[in-house]
Chain A
Amino acid sequence: MNDLLTPEEAENRLRRTLAARAERMADGDDAQADWDPTPVALVPLVASPARRAPVARRALLAAAAVVAVGGLAAAVAVSSRDGSSPADDTTAGPGTEPDATEPGAAVTDLQPASCAEWTVTTTPLGGTEPPPMVPSDPVPPSTAPADSLGRSYISMQLATEPIDPSWADQLAIVVHRPAPGADPSDEAVQVGDRPGRYRAMQGAMAHMGSVTFDVDGETIVVTAWQVSKADLIRVAASVEPNADGTWSYGVLPGYEDHCGG
Chain B
Amino acid sequence: MTGTSSRRTDTGVEDDFSALYRDQRDRLRRVAYLMTGQAAVAEEIVHDAFLRVHGRWRSLDVPAAYLRRTVVNLCLAWRSRSAMAREREPRVGGWVDPPELDETWALLDRLPRDQRVALVLRYYEDLAVDEIAQVMGCRPATVRTRIHRALTALRKEMTP
Contacts and interface: CB of A to CB of B under 8 A. Distances in A.
Interface of A: 3-5, 7, 10-11, 13-22, 24-26, 30-36, 77, 79-85, 87-88, 111-114, 116-119, 121, 123, 130, 132, 134-138, 155, 157, 161, 196, 199-200, 202-205, 228-231, 234
A15 B147 CA distance: 13
Contact of B95 (A13, A24, A112, A136): A24
11 contacts: A10-B151, A22-B31, A25-B39, A33-B39, A84-B1, A112-B8, A161-B18, A202-B44, A203-B43, A204-B51, A229-B54
B61 interface: no
A26 B155 contact: no
Identify the 6 closest CB pairs spanning chains A and B, nearest first: A203-B47, A33-B94, A83-B3, A85-B1, A34-B39, A132-B2
A14 B104 contact: yes
Interface in B1-49: 1-9, 11, 14, 17-18, 21, 25-26, 29-31, 33-34, 38-40, 42-44, 46-49
A21 B105 contact: yes
Given A5-B158, A82-B3, A228-B21, 7 more contacts: A15-B123, A18-B34, A22-B33, A80-B3, A83-B1, A112-B14, A199-B44
B104 A17 contact: yes
B117 to A, nearest CB: 12
Nearest to B93: A33
Given A19-B124, A25-B33, A7 B155 contact: yes
Contacts of A203: 43-44, 46-48, 50-51
B87 interface: no
Interface residues of B, number: 58
Contacts of A134: 2, 4
A217 B100 CA distance: 47
A34 B92 contact: yes
A114 B4 CA distance: 10
A151 to B, nearest CB: 16
B54 A4 contact: no
A112 B16 CA distance: 13
Contacts of B95: 24, 30, 33
Nearest to B106: A17
A3 B157 CA distance: 10
A202 B43 CA distance: 11
A214 B100 CA distance: 43
Contact of A157 (B3, B17, B47, B155): B3
Contact of A14 (B54, B55, B119): B119
Nearest to A137: B4
Given A10-B154, A202-B47, A228-B18, A31 B33 contact: yes
A229 B158 CA distance: 45
Nearest to A30: B95
Interface in B86-112: 89-90, 92-95, 97, 100-101, 104-105, 108
B89 to A, nearest CB: 8
